[in-house]
A and B are shown apart, each in its own frame.
Chain A
Amino acid sequence: MPEAPAPVLVYDRVAANRRATWRLLALFTVLILPFVAGFIPLLVPAIQFGVLLPALGGAAFDRIQAAGPGRALLFAVTVALALLAVLATGVAVAWLELQQATRLVLRLTRSRPIDREGEPELWRSVENLSLAAGLPTPAVFVIESRSPNAFAVGLDPRRAAVVVTRGLLTLLDRRGLHGVIAHELSHIGNQDTRLNTVLAAVLTVLRLPLDLLSRAGLPPLALRGCLVLSALAAVMAVVAVLAIVAEGALAFWFFASEVRGALAGTSRADLALIAMMIFYGPLIMGSPFYVLFGAQLCGRRVRAAVSRQREFLADADAVLLTRNPEGLALALATVGAAGGDAIRVPRAAAHLFFVEPASAEAYWWDRAVPSHPPIEERVTLLGRMGSGIPPEALAAAVEAGREFRAAPPAAAPAASLAARRRAAPRETARSAPTPAALPADRDGESARDWVAPAGVASQIWLAHGPIPLLERPEAGARARERLPAGTPLALLGVEGAFLRVQTGTGTTGYIDKATAVRWKEPR
């Protein structure tokens, strides 16, 4: 896709994005048609015997099927019904996805809403930069993850949200934070978030079969087997079609009269059957590949082309807001080196983020099509906007990021927890389900998602309640409030036999280390 010259005014960009959204939806329809066709082999018998047979009654069904044209009619009706069913499902899923998109993404990424008191600096930055961008102030969320990253969601600027991770807040200085927030606000202002949400919804639908398959508990090897087998079948289908066409052409070329004679001797119904089999056979063979992999790979390609350009544009707009290309460029370099990609997110939402998130467990087909342009390219472009970025500043930024990744600062909760675990193993062993004592991946996938590089997650949920939130790390201290069971808490650090935590409303306090906590949001 050639990179079209970017419109200069925000309003024009919004209009361009709206057109892109419509084009995308049209493309989605085109992509989903063969996808639907792939389901037809499964649906046709189900509809014929499950819907039409009971609806028409056995005798009528047999009578219609006995006649040649009747069978064709029956088949056409079945296919139409199947198309309708699959399209309706797809549209319903996409629509639900769109309605729920913002909330869903926030929930899946465990974003916690914050207010002015909870994070005054972050809040003020968002508020001020929104003024400069002429946007209503979006809601602000924080993800308790050490991996520095950020994203914006929302179908329109009035219901948008900006989300940053705890790692980003600790790693970046004010200038860098401003750069990142301005980038995210530009996504909201250009209404990339809407385009992105539509993209995410489309991709979710296209990925549905593969996701269902991998959720069913199949090991990666089996998945790969599916891929290989379905690809083989698809190749065979293509070869078969080519062979049939070639054979037919050759037969007509050399034995025209014999073929005509043979055709004349065959009944019309049989001819229709043969034609149907020639058309239907390869479709059945080829469809699994397209349904499982082909459709979403195409979708991913489209997304890569769309969101690449959006990222460059948001970088440029962020510079317009902060008037400081260096801040954003250094933030990009730092975050890139600090492993902003370590965050685990649903793959369909990957393109929302500030830097491309990736995970060790991502399948290779996820890594093959990146949703973001490379960081170096973005930094170079930003360098051209201002008076250039001093190489030593860039090197220092990368170095800071690397240090952050290698050894978390002593003040960070993860590091202090890890240190404490080494220093006092007996104590932690006694107070059984404290975070430090719990193996990080004991609670299945969700715990692994939020494991910081040091091996400790930083968000916990109270297992029982009510638990007093103490003012000081002392046994007899006054309680700020009583927390019911299931309260989500951000882990800030350890002091003696107490954990320093923060609630969703921004109150900080201490809870006893022996308090039973969960890694996973209780349902």
Chain B
Amino acid sequence: MRAADATLGVVLVVLVALLLWVIVVYNNLVRGRNRVREAWSGIDVQLRRRGSLVPNLVETVRGYATHERGVFEEVARARSALQQAGGAAAAASANTALSQALGHLFAVVEAYPQLRASESFTSLQRDLGDVEDKIAFARQFYNRNVLEFNTRAETFPGNLVASTLGFSPAEFFESTDDGRAEVTLDLSGPPRARAPEAPPPPSAS
């Protein structure tokens, strides 16, 4: 009888300790997930800002280069893809696609010196560059938080709690800078040679 009591006591203590441990691990996981979400909003704001700059840019370029419909459509497609992208990985690849499309747009612009020198275009270009910098910096913070959260959720024994309670690892925001590399190539490439003699004046907008 005594021995049974003692055993019962030990089992109870172990159970309570286990429960406490699960609570602590769970709370840590929730905290980590919230931090990841907060960090994501930092990127999201900049992605939205980038998305909202694109139409203005397209309008400005369209005023000079009316015939480049293909490029405009590509940019518009990439932009709406970015706006509809759900999840960090999808947003990252959509963002890269937009970078590539913008690269093509800037390659077209190279052919119109008057456009390149125009106030509105240069200021838009500057803003876009600024946003891209900010995305890169915000990405750093986001990925650090994802790394922290994933490590917590995937290492033993935390992973037991994480998988049971439905915590899935967060996605990294990985940017492949291929798009940018292409831009630089295009800028130094042939478009300079085919500068039209009389670019159409900008529309009255």
Residues of A near any B CB (own CB < 8 A): 9, 11, 124, 127-129, 131-134, 320-321
Contact = CB atoms under 8 A, between A and B. Distances in A.
24 contacts: A9-B148, A11-B35, A124-B130, A124-B133, A127-B134, A128-B133, A128-B137, A129-B137, A131-B42, A131-B46, A131-B134, A131-B137, A131-B138, A131-B141, A132-B137, A132-B138, A132-B140, A132-B141, A133-B141, A134-B39, A134-B42, A134-B141, A134-B145, A320-B144
Contacts of B137: 128-129, 131-132
Interface in B125-163: 130, 133-134, 137-138, 140-141, 144-145, 148
Say whether chain B's binding surface is mostly helix, strand, loop, or mixed: helix
Given A127-B134, A134-B39, 4 more contacts: A131-B134, A131-B137, A320-B144, A321-B140
Contacts of A131: 42, 46, 134, 137-138, 141
Nearest to A323: B140
Interface of B: 35, 38-39, 42, 46, 130, 133-134, 137-138, 140-141, 144-145, 148
Contact of A128 (B38, B134, B148): B134
Contacts of A133: 141
A131 B131 CA distance: 11
Contacts of B38: 134
A39 B111 CA distance: 82
Nearest to A130: B137
Nearest to A8: B148
A248 B134 CA distance: 76
Contacts of B134: 127-128, 131
A237 B42 CA distance: 63
The 7 A-B residue pairs whose C-beta atoms are closest, nearest first, are A132-B137, A131-B137, A134-B141, A132-B140, A128-B137, A131-B138, A132-B141
Contacts of B141: 131-134
Nearest to A133: B141
A320 B144 CA distance: 10
B28 to A, nearest CB: 10
Nearest to A129: B137
Contacts of A129: 137
A505 B16 CA distance: 62
B76 to A, nearest CB: 28
Interface centre among A128, A133, A134 (most CB of B within 10 A): A134
A128 B139 CA distance: 11
Contacts of A134: 38-39, 42, 141, 145
Contacts of B148: 9
Contacts of B130: 124
Contacts of A11: 35
A131 B133 CA distance: 10
A131 B35 CA distance: 14
A223 to B, nearest CB: 50
A132 B144 CA distance: 9
Nearest to B141: A134
Nearest to B138: A131
B121 to A, nearest CB: 19
Nearest to B140: A132
A133 B138 CA distance: 8
B130 to A, nearest CB: 7
Contacts of B145: 134
Q: Name the residue among A9, A131, A134 with the largest chain B CB count within 10 angstroms.
A: A131
A9 B151 CA distance: 12
B167 to A, nearest CB: 18
A132 B42 CA distance: 9
A124 B137 CA distance: 12
A36 to B, nearest CB: 42
Contacts of B42: 131, 134
Contacts of A128: 133-134, 137
A357 to B, nearest CB: 30
B43 to A, nearest CB: 9
A289 B37 CA distance: 56
Nearest to B126: A120
Which one of B130, B134, B137 has the highest number of Cβ atoms from chain A below 10 Å of its Cβ?
A: B137
